[in-house]
Amino acid sequence: MALPCHVQLEAHGLVGEDDGSMAWHKTALSLLVAGRRVTADVMCDAYSSRTTVRVDRDGIGMDAPTAQVLLTKVYDIAGAAMQWASCDAGEAFFDLENVIRQMFYRSAAKKLIRQIRFDACGGVLQSPTAGGIK
């Protein structure tokens, strides 16, 4: 039972002015999992490495703290996977379910995974064995 996801990152460079104590860099993040898209802007301070996330669109319907924590981790994983690329944009693919199970307590992880798999259009749980694979 996995949740394969596709992450796209696009660096937008320095936001504001580098005053010697803070220099915020903006990266657009797009996460696609189970047919749902979450987009966010990730701001990272070059001096302190402090990271903040502002969610633009949440196709999953996560609460704000969960979205912040999960998207920060997704940003870290995707950034590490694409580190070898010397361009301003890239993509990564990995199992989001494994990441969720490692980050959250068991009950919270199960709830979030179920929420991602639940199809809001028809109210049907998306089975990991959908498509006839047993």
Question: How big is the chain by its Cα radius of gyration, in Å?
Answer: 16
* Of 6-10, 21-25, 94-98, the least confident: 21-25
Residue 86's alpha-carbon distances to 15, 50, 94, 129, 132, in angstroms, are: 20, 22, 21, 37, 40
More reliable by pLDDT, 107 or 118: 107
Whether residue 68 is contained in a domain is answered as yes
Q: 108-118: buried (b, 16+ CB within 10 Å) or exposed (e) per residue?
A: ebeebbeebbb
Lookup: tokens for 85: 């690329």
Whether residue 51 is contained in a domain is answered as yes
Whether residue 33 is contained in a domain is answered as yes
Number of domains in the chain: 1
pLDDT for 4 equals 94
Nearest to 15 by CA among 35, 33, 40, 42: 42
Whether residue 132 is contained in a domain is answered as no
Whether residue 14 is contained in a domain is answered as yes
Q: What is the tens place of the pLDDT at every residue in 20-32?
A: 888 999 999 999 9
Q: How confident is the model at residue 49 (pLDDT cuts 50, 70, 90)?
A: confident
DSSP result, the chain: ---EEEEEEEEEEEES---SS--EEEEEEEEEETTEEEEEEEEEETTT--EEEEEEEESS---HHHHHHHHHHHHHHHHHHTTT--SSEEEEEEEHHHHHHHHS-HHHHHHHHHHHHEETTTTEE--TTTTS--
Whether residue 121 is contained in a domain is answered as yes
Please tell me whether the overall predicted TM-score, pTM, comes out greater than 0.85 for this model.
no
Whether residue 134 is contained in a domain is answered as no
pLDDT for 66 equals 95
Domain extent, residue 53, equals: 4-125
More reliable by pLDDT, 8 or 83: 8
Q: Determine the average pLDDT of the residues in 66-91.
A: 83
Q: Determine the average pLDDT of the residues in 9-37.
A: 90
